[in-house]
A and B are shown apart, each in its own frame.
Chain A
Amino acid sequence: MSDGGRESERGPEKPAPQRKPGGEEFAQAFVKVAVAQICESEGFQSFQQSALETLSDVTVRYIRDIGKTAHVYANQAGRTESNVFDIIQGLEDLGLAQGFLGASDIEHCLASSGTVRELAQYVGESEQIPFAYSLPQFPVVKDRKLTPSFLQIGEEPPGEHIPAWLPAFPDPGTYAQSSTPNDKTTELKMAKIEQENQRRKPERSLLNLNQWLASNELERPSSVDAGDDAKAKQAAESNPFLAAPLQYGEKEVSPVVLPVKTKLSNDTTTGNPIVKYHGMDNHVSVLEAFTPNIEAMKSGLRDSEEGHKKVLLKTRPTVQFKLGSGKKYLGSMLDSSPQNKSFQVTESWFGRLNEKDDKKRRAEQILKESVGNLQELDHL
């Protein structure tokens, strides 16, 4: 804080407001200037910033205190406007800490108060220091555009109970709805549309990705794409995660074993291709992606006699294990199937993991129960 202050010269500079200027800042800045001028006349050559701010803050509080006290005294006397005696009383109150002549005299007339005399002395002795800037009248009062009354518009107020000098009503177009469709059907439609949209979101992103990959191969004359390319390159240089994705065949990767069951499930055909790309995009709910699997599993449990469905259960290998929340469902589902012995190993693996977490175990139990219920229903 002691890094020297501003110098107060003949023309004191206005402090530059760093923050967004509000109403208070404006007045405070001027107070700082005035306080600096007074201090300069006392003999100070420079100030610390914080000291100047503190003193100007004290000044503002002093003015407000005088005003408040004077107002209180005026109210006590039953007036709304203060007069000179209210101010003198206020000054006496504030000056009691410092003390003035005749403070202990309780019966004196206010006009001869010690504060006034000291003030008169001060005025007589000190020289005038005019303020450095010319101040406009503030705060500026904006002219409000009032709503015109019925009379002014020339309208007849609707209804006899409304007098004509009241402001007119706004245009009916501003508050009335244009058309009122049938509520329930639209709601249903909206719900359906939303569902579809949610399903299509990953599909859309996938399509975009495919398009982008495809168009990357061709030369594109359009400037927008070139800009994207340049940006992608720039981004790739700075951040390896933003690098352009590799084309098919550019890099040798291990082949991916597609699960067989994807051909078997019928209803959610749009959801299936998403499963492959699932590792990249975690925002699409894992549950959503696995609903085909789970549903297929459920259907597989019900028709467990059919041979080809067994293939479904057996060929559910390691791919799904990598994704977190899928484990619970798969683990619990697998537990309940009595036929698959090949999964006992995996089940024990699950078991080990689930031992660590109580909550997971509980969730598993709940799911087991629910699947158990399903089986019971089947038996019925």
Chain B
Amino acid sequence: MNHNKQQSSDLGHDDDAALSDFLASLMDYTPTIPDELVEHFLAKSGFQSPDLRLTRLVAVATQKFIAEVASDALQQCKARQATVVRDKRDKQQKDKRLVLTMEDLSRALHEHGVNVKHQEYFADSPSIGMDPASRDE
């Protein structure tokens, strides 16, 4: 027990050191989401902190979250493109444009616990459901 405690305390020190180093390194790294924006939204939920490092921590965490979601959606998109049958060899084999669609996004978010349901279509104009060629898009 004592040995463990000592180890853990040593580790605790290391961890603390690691944490403070990490926070210090955050000041060098500029997160994509600007600080003012993060502060604004944190203030809305009652979060108070004069320490800029904490704001940066939140910003980085959010960025990581978005990046994960985006990469999952990207994988979905690529998987869908791989299964699309190529019509002709003359044509470009795959649509190389990677578009973030609602479908991919909803699947990616579902894994992270966010349930997003997207409407298939809105019947708000007379041209809905008509021949796509004649429609103005």
Contacts and interface: CB of A to CB of B under 8 A. Distances in A.
A1 B121 contact: yes
Contact of B99 (A47, A68, A81, A82): A47
Given A55-B105, A71-B45, A80-B48, A1 B66 contact: no
Given A116-B22, A137-B36, A63 B62 contact: yes
Contact of B100 (A44, A64, A109, A128): A44
Contacts of B74: 42-44
Nearest to A55: B105
Contact of B112 (A51, A97, A118, A138): A97
A63 B66 CA distance: 11
A59 B62 CA distance: 7
A112 B58 contact: no
B90 interface: no
B22 A1 contact: no
Residue of B23, B32, B36 with most chain A CB atoms under a 10 A cut-off: B32
B49 A4 contact: no
A245 interface: no
Nearest to B103: A51
Contacts of A81: 48-50
Nearest to A136: B36
A97 B113 contact: yes
B61 A91 contact: yes
A139 interface: yes
Interface in B51-102: 51, 53-54, 57-58, 60-71, 73-74, 77, 97-102
Contacts of B8: 109
Interface in A40-58: 41-48, 50-52, 54-55, 58
Contact of B25 (A38, A58, A115, A123): A123
Interface of A: 1-5, 27, 30-31, 34-35, 37-39, 41-48, 50-52, 54-55, 58-60, 62-68, 70-71, 80-84, 87, 91, 97-98, 109, 111-112, 115-116, 118-120, 122-123, 126, 128-131, 135-139
20 contacts: A31-B37, A34-B32, A35-B66, A38-B32, A38-B67, A48-B100, A51-B101, A54-B118, A55-B66, A63-B38, A64-B45, A81-B48, A83-B49, A84-B57, A111-B15, A111-B19, A126-B67, A129-B32, A131-B30, A131-B32
Given A51-B105, A119-B64, A135-B37, 16 more contacts: A5-B100, A27-B37, A42-B70, A42-B71, A44-B73, A55-B100, A63-B38, A66-B62, A70-B47, A82-B49, A87-B57, A116-B22, A122-B63, A126-B67, A138-B36, A139-B40
